[in-house]
Amino acid sequence: MTSSAFSTLPIRADILSNITSLGFESMTPVQQQSLPILFSGQDLLGQAKTGSGKTAAFAIGIINKLETARRQIRAGDILGALTANTELPGKLIGKIDILNKVAYVAVERKVARQALKILLDGKIKGRKIRVRKLDNQTGSGHSV
């Protein structure tokens, strides 16, 4: 790694802001070597002197991973958005598949419009989401 700036790492903006607000602008040598490995998802065993930044490297890697996992939408989040404070019964919602950046939600045809409206008007985990109706008979998508 050529740059020692924390901003060169794939850290979420809020975490980077916290690091900067604590007065840390550049990484120590142990952080430069370890953080890219931690962000790639690999295991790491490191040894360095006291005060070298090992604990901060460990914490930054863990916090970034935890925060990312916490923000990912899960099937229960979608089910909750569709059923909480609405008159849409959960038994009319079928399989919910969560992929990397896409979720597929099966609902009975008679409540499809209502489910679309709920998802379009609401938020999941504080974020607006894009919704698209798929016609299972033709496989074509209709943007909503």
Q: Are strands 93-98 and 141-143 parallel, antiparallel or unpaired?
A: unpaired
pLDDT tens figures, 81-125: 898 877 788 888 988 888 767 788 888 888 888 888 888 888 887
Can you give the pLDDT at residue 51? 92
| CA gap 98, 117 in Å, rounded | 20
pTM, to two decimals: 0.48
Can you give the pLDDT at residue 137? 55
| CA gap 53, 39 in Å, rounded | 16
* Of residues 111, 110, 62, the one with CA closest to residue 83: 111
Concatenated DSSP letters for 49-93?
Answer: -TTSSHHHHHHHHHHHHHHHHHHS--HHHHHHHHHTTSS--GGGE
pLDDT tens figures, 45-77: 888 999 999 999 998 988 887 755 566 788 888
Can you give the pLDDT at residue 69? 58
